[in-house]
Structure 1
Amino acid sequence: MVSPRVVLIGPPGAGKTTVGQLLATRWDLPFVDTDEVVSRDRGQSISDIFVAEGEAAFRRYEEAAVRSSLNGPGVVALGGGAAVQPWAAAALADLPVVFLDVTIADASGRIGFDTSRPLLAVNPRASWTRMMNERRPAYETVARWRVDTAGRTPEQVADAIEALA
């Protein structure tokens, strides 16, 4: 069975997509962002899915996207909430998972806490902090490695991952 060279997890603003694209280019591998897969397959943005169908429907679509993405070569970036879902630990077991850890200062500079992120729509900074506190144990449990992104460029984060994977 073919599996990804690396799977990136972490909260919104950790740099999963940016770093994942860099690694995929360096390694000449395909890149998959599971949020983009869901959005493309459903023909609407993640925010629109949340509004029209609710979080439970989004999570079902997300699980299907993640499971199919883990069955091929490449670099995979999971949506921020995927790694904390009940099915995730088993799906990610024995895979090269990297938790991109980020502070709220770095995350806010990267994503700006705009309304395109449905779980951060109300009081974004407080919501992000609460979300990170809730998700951190799961991120740490499913990850083989943790890479701190604080003050690092995407290239420096990619370099750190290359040294691990």
Structure 2
Amino acid sequence: MTEPHGPRVVLIGPMGAGKTTVADLLAQAWGCEVRDTDQDVEAQEGRSVQEIFIELGEPYFRDRERAAVRAAVREHTGVLALGGGAVMDPGTREVLVGQRVVFLNVGLADAAKRVGLGQGRPLLVGNIRSRIKTILTERLPIYAAVASHVVDTDGRPADEVADEVRAWVEAEEGA
């Protein structure tokens, strides 16, 4: 594989997949920075993702998110973690073409345990388990289509998941 421009690896997946934790572990192992596009949007907007959803709506947030992903792919060379719904946007998917994208896959039971009561997660209003199931069903095919590699996270500690991602990325870099 030719060396992609941009981040060393992009992590995608649903809420509860462990993107933030795995990104931190990878950055620590590689001695690089982590960039999280949700945090980028929050910094630019001066409010939380949840507040943006409530006050300005999901379309507004997705527009800001797409711009954050585009900037991160252009500027960042470390580990990039995307928000769970980022790849639902066709423009964001287009930005990811040619990047090393790892889909951290998680099943319903593990996702529900990891997100707890969904505090701060604007798409988890109502029955959390039912909402997660709906989101997983809608998004799994798109995550899989965008990904260069898939890592299953169910029942696995984050360090083991990070080790698998690291081994894959390093093998790709050596290819």
TM-score, with structure 1 as normaliser: 0.96
| Whole-angstrom CA distance in 1 between matches of 2:5 and 2:142 | 25
Deviation per residue, 1:102-157 (Å, 9 max, x gap): 01221122210323111111211111111111111110001000000011111000
Q: 1:46 aligns with which of 32, 46, 49?
A: 49
| Whole-angstrom CA distance in 2 between matches of 1:25 and 1:70 | 20
Residue 30 of structure 1: how far off its partner (Å): 1.0
For residue 95 of structure 1, what is the amino acid of its counterpart?
A: Q
Unaligned residue ranges in structure 2 (runs of 5+) = 170-175
Q: Say whether 1:27 aligns with 2:30.
A: yes
Residue 34 of structure 1: how far off its partner (Å): 0.6
CA contact (8 A) 2:105 2:151 kept: yes
Percent sequence identity is 47
Q: 1:119 aligns with which of 112, 117, 123?
A: 123
- RMSD of aligned Cα (Å): 1.2
TM-score, with structure 2 as normaliser: 0.91
Aligned residues: 165
Unaligned residue ranges in structure 1 (runs of 5+) = none
| Whole-angstrom CA distance in 1 between matches of 2:93 and 2:84 | 14
Equivalent position SS for 2:161: helix
User: What's 1:150 paired with?
Assistant: 154
